[in-house]
Amino acid sequence: MAKRDYYEVLGLSKGASDAEIKKAYRRLARKLHPDVNPGDKAAQKRFQEVQEAYDVLKDDDKRRAYDRFGHAGPTGGFDPRTAGGAGFPPGGFPAGFGRGGGTPFEGIHFESGDLGDLFGNLFGGRRSSGPEPGEDVRGQIEVPFRDAALGGTATLALRREKPCPTCGGSGRTGKTVCATCRGEGVVAESERVRIKIPEGTEDGGTIRVPGKGAAGARGGSVGDLYVTVRVIAHPYFERHGNDIQGIVPITVKEAYAGAEIGVPTIHGVVTAKIPPGTQSRQRFRLRGKGVKDPRTGTTGDHIYVARVMIPKTQSPAGLDAATLLDSLYETDVRAELPRGL
């Protein structure tokens, strides 16, 4: 029988990522493992086929060689089922196996513990039927500016694997493969997960929700959910770390003579000073009126930026007032400009 393409064996296409390869392998190995299918020769054969495919594709060097030469390449003709006798030796091949020059296995480097690791990862160590923890799941939510700054809640709709209700996660009902989950032990279900948004959450930050990942196999623990937060920009407030910044328009008189004005902050309007002689774009700080840092517990500041508004209505009185102001500059306002590059 002609050897099947390794990607085909794992149900993947040629450009599959390392994560996809690993995932496909885990899924198939779980389903086809001899402990789950005692006495099933076809499953056993398929299990070994999957194993061999994974062993080549998970290794960058072997995969490259396979992509280039296929089964006819340096790995061609090598059959781990016969090379190792009946099945794989427990604990993997001895160190240095296949490394000697001139062996028919040149280019293939099984290392001691390689296969042991593989089984260890998959089946929880010594016993191949032991519990296996569920995988972590990742998601993303958009959070309003206010909730990210002050805290709130959000809901995320996601599909996640849960233990199969029919077989209780074993994948079998009596002597047959469970029809509900087709032997996987888990079923995918839609769920709305409520997520607490801590005060001071930043754009791009991650929130961990324990126990909302994929179900474990055979009684293994449930994975976690990791949610990446995208904070929706606010039309007025800008956030810089734990500081919040906003522009406050002021009149010519307020800028010239100074004033007390109401400055909007995320905690409400705060009365703040505009000192005499304030310029446009001048920045002032209100301590502790920013965002509370979830790690340190310290609170950032509110920064308000002055913008001097000039009346647009033209009038002789306005011109007189402006002319009078013009006479009050001590130096040329453009004295410090460069003359060129």
Note the residues at the interface with Zn ion (CB under 5 A): 164, 166-167, 178, 180-181
Residue among 186 and 229 whose Cβ is closer to Zn ion: 186
Shortest distance (Å) from residue 168 CB to Zn ion? 8
Q: Give SS3 for 265.
A: strand
DSSP 8-state code for residue 277:
T
Please identify which residue in the block is written with the tokens 């001899």: 34
> Is 177 or 305 the residue whose CB approaches Zn ion more closely?
177
Q: 300, 301, 292: which is closest to 198 by C-alpha?
A: 292
Could you give the CA distance from residue 167 to residue 180 in angstroms, rounded to a whole number?
Answer: 8
* Residue 167 or 303 with smaller CB distance to Zn ion: 167
Smallest distance from the beta carbon of 166 to Zn ion, in angstroms?
A: 4
Q: Which residues pair with 284 in a beta bridge?
A: 304
CB 147 within 8 A of CB 154: yes
Identify which of residues 166 and 251 has a Cβ nearer to Zn ion in the complex: 166
Cα–Cα distance measured from residue 56 to residue 337, given in angstroms and rounded to the nearest whole number: 67
CB of 183 to Zn ion, least distance (A): 7
Q: Is the CB of 12 or the CB of 164 nearer to Zn ion?
A: 164
Closest distance between Zn ion and the C-beta of residue 179, in Å?
A: 8
Asked if residue 273 lies in contact with residue 280, where contact means CB atoms within 8 angstroms, the answer is: no
Is residue 186 classed exposed, middle or buried when 0-12, 13-18 and 19+ CB atoms within 10 A define those classes? buried
CA dihedral 239, 277, 309, 300 (to 10 degrees): 10
Q: How far is the CB of 47 from Zn ion (least distance, A)?
A: 20
Q: Which is nearer to Zn ion, 48 or 173 (CB)?
A: 173
Tokens standing for residue 24: 């496909």
Query: C-beta of 194: minimal distance to Zn ion in Å?
Result: 27
Q: Which amino acid is at 205?
A: G
Q: Give the count of beta carbons closer than 10 Å to the beta carbon of residue 192.
A: 9
Residue 180 beta carbon to Zn ion: minimum distance, rounded to whole angstroms: 5
Q: Where are the beta strands (DSSP E) in 53-151?
A: 137-143
Question: What does each C-alpha distance from 90 to 29, 126, 145, 164 come to in angstroms?
Answer: 17, 11, 56, 32
Closer to Zn ion at the Cβ: 115 or 217? 217
Q: How many CB atoms lie within 10 A of CB 262?
A: 10
Beta carbon of residue 37, minimum distance to Zn ion (angstroms, whole number): 15
Is the CB of 40 or the CB of 111 nearer to Zn ion? Answer: 40
